[in-house]
Structure 1
Amino acid sequence: MSDRAASRGWGKCGRLCKCEAIMVAFKGIWTQPFWKAVTAEFMAMLIFVLLSLGSTINWGGAEKPLPVDMVLISLCFGLSIATMVQCIGHISGGHINPAVTIAMVCTRKISLAKSFFYIVAQCLGAIAGAGILYLVTPRKLVGSLGVTQVHSELSAGHGLVVELIITFQLVFTIFASCDSKRSDVTGSVALAIGLSVAIGHLFAIGYTGASMNPARSFGPAVIMGKWENHWIYWVGPIIGAVLAGTLYEYVYCPDDEVKRRFKEAFNKTNQPSKGKYIEVEDTRSHIETDDLLLKPGIVHVIDLERGDDKKGRDPTNEVLSSV
């Protein structure tokens, strides 16, 4: 084993030692900007959960409960998240949602190590926000503290589907609004995201409580100790977020690098066997044959050049590969 390999942490087996592998995996997190981003996610989640769950408190009490104001709750959640995204978007990216963070990992926008710290900070911020709300709210008015619950007439499977759908539309909105390749987005990105959250609540409060955010459900569940069907508020949003992120990033609006990789993969698996089908503009006045008169237009030609003669040709000029 060379001294150079030893200095990099390679052992006799030719693999990185555990310490070196951990340092490589967590490269870049031991910086001030990183911890600013993590603490910003914690703070934003704390404020978001505190303010948003506060809108669910029924101030009529158990004796004279007031009707649930779905518009009030929806606007409070939507405007709260829009405000927080506006505040910390330039610091941490403004995820404020573990499902969004996981979608960013799957689309390779942030590292796995960074996502771990983000999710921990988000969950701790949600617990802190729900805890503060519990402390400042009169005991007889606390109720369920905004714990998300599936409607009694619905099964856990129904709740899972609803959470998947509303999180899908939220994350798709996030990717579309934050797409650097677009030049037509002239409004407020934060407001677009907030409106997406509000729409999800207007639709799904009656179904599942409209979580769309695992940490938002996790915080009050920890404080109140209510865990019924809690798993759907992790599985549903995560699946919906990953589907939305991957569909937008790799299917609907892939960047040039993704297109290039797909093209290379396609060319490797679909090598032409006998040539190329191309269209050639016919500039001649006419072509006479024994039984046919071809007028000017498009002439269909099979390009039979192969081997070294094809090297150096721009592949974008080839219209359609033969099968």
Structure 2
Amino acid sequence: MVRELKTLGFWQAVLAEFLGTTMLVFLGISAAIGNGNSSYPDQEVKVALAFGLAFATLVQSLGHISGAHLNPAVTLAVLVSCQISVCRALWYVSAQMLGAVLGSAIVLGVRPEAVESLDLNKLTGVSPGQAFGMELLLTLQLVLCFLATTDKRRSDVAGSAPFGIGLSVTLAHLAGISYTGCGINPARSFGPALVSMDFENHWVFWAGPVTGGIMATVLYDFLLSPRGLDLTGRLKTLVKGLAQGSNSGNLSPDCCWSSTSSFLLF
């Protein structure tokens, strides 16, 4: 774990998560509040496309550096899958949270004077329990898509994995905006909440996505497409991360994106 912290690539990956989440939150929220005259369902489609295209673009740009999680729920899911170390997961989540706060603060500084809201995730006509279920299911499909499309064991994936993940984000927003504003990302929910100091029902946007992400990992990694039961190898990964060239499930060091990257030499 200490050796991991001493590598340049580790900090490049953390920086990529910070910058990526900053841009994701900035672009998504800007699209959501930038036109006060937009009406539903036009506004829903606009916001869904903004988040989906932003995620696809950023995953394409940063995937080879950090894995482009840009979402604590994804990072925790990958951790449960034993594809990254606990240390890396903690730093990723911290970077994502800080990036979301910075992105929200930027939007706060440039928003039109007539706009008061920062597009906080809010419950619309549903109870907290129903919202939890919605966030859980929406995040489950997103993380399932992320794990499946970035699985290096597969040889049948055609087209662009980042585009597929972006479509998954778009789909989640199209289905969930009318209910919860579609969080599916604790960092994206936390940034505007902190800047606006409004944490009403905020637990929903942590509990739902985190539970959904972990459930997706259990379903994919242990039931649908098991990676094996090498407990020693899994524990080693959690402590030290995956070394370059590791044959543990044919995973690459940076969480299934590139087998040539060298920033995880432990």
TM, length-normalised to structure 2: 0.83
More strand by share: 1
Q: State the alpha-carbon separation in 2 of the partners of residues 76 and 52 from structure 1.
A: 6
Q: State the alpha-carbon separation in 2 of the partners of residues 250 and 95 from structure 1.
A: 21
Aligned to 1:182: 154
Which residue of the other structure, out of 130, 134, 137, is the alignment partner of 1:162? 134
Aligned to 1:228: 200
Q: State the alpha-carbon separation in 1 of the partners of residues 166 and 8 from structure 2.
A: 29
Q: State the alpha-carbon separation in 2 of the partners of residues 235 and 139 from structure 1.
A: 34
Runs of 4+ in 1 over 4 A off after TM superposition: none
Residue correspondences, number? 229
Which residue of the other structure, out of 139, 142, 145, is the alignment partner of 2:118? 145
Matched, 1:136 2:139: no
Q: Counterpart amino acid of 1:176?
A: A
Identical columns (%) = 41
Structure with bigger RCO (C-alpha 8 Å, 6+ apart):
2
Matched, 1:87 2:61: yes
Aligned to 1:45: 21
Q: Counterpart amino acid of 2:75?
A: T
Residue pair 2:118, 2:196 contacting (<8 A) in 1 also? yes
Q: State the alpha-carbon separation in 2 of the partners of residues 116 and 187 from structure 1.
A: 32
Structure 2 gap segments, 5+ residues each: 232-266
Distance 1:54 1:107, change over 3 A: same
Cα offsets for 1:254-288 (capped at 9, x unmatched) = 13x33x77xxxxxxxxxxxxxxxxxxxxxxxxxxx
Larger-gyration structure (1/2): 1
By how many angstroms is 1:211 displaced? 0.9
Which residue of the other structure, out of 42, 54, 57, is the alignment partner of 2:33? 57
By how many angstroms is 1:58 displaced? 5.1
Aligned to 2:187: 215
Residue pair 1:58, 1:66 contacting (<8 A) in 2 also? no
For the aligned residues, what is the CA RMSD? 1.3
Cα offsets for 1:138-159 (capped at 9, x unmatched) = 2322x321110011x2110000
More helix by share: 2
Q: State the alpha-carbon separation in 1 of the partners of residues 67 and 5 from structure 2.
A: 15
Q: Counterpart amino acid of 2:132?
A: L
Q: Counterpart amino acid of 1:44?
A: G
Aligned to 1:304: none
Counting only pairs closer than 5 Å after superposition, residues 1-323 of structure 1 correspond to structure 2 as 25-57=1-33, 59-60=35-36, 65-68=37-40, 69-141=43-115, 143-151=116-124, 153-255=125-227, 257-258=228-229
By how many angstroms is 1:243 displaced? 0.6
Q: Counterpart amino acid of 1:180?
A: K
SS at 1:103's partner residue? helix
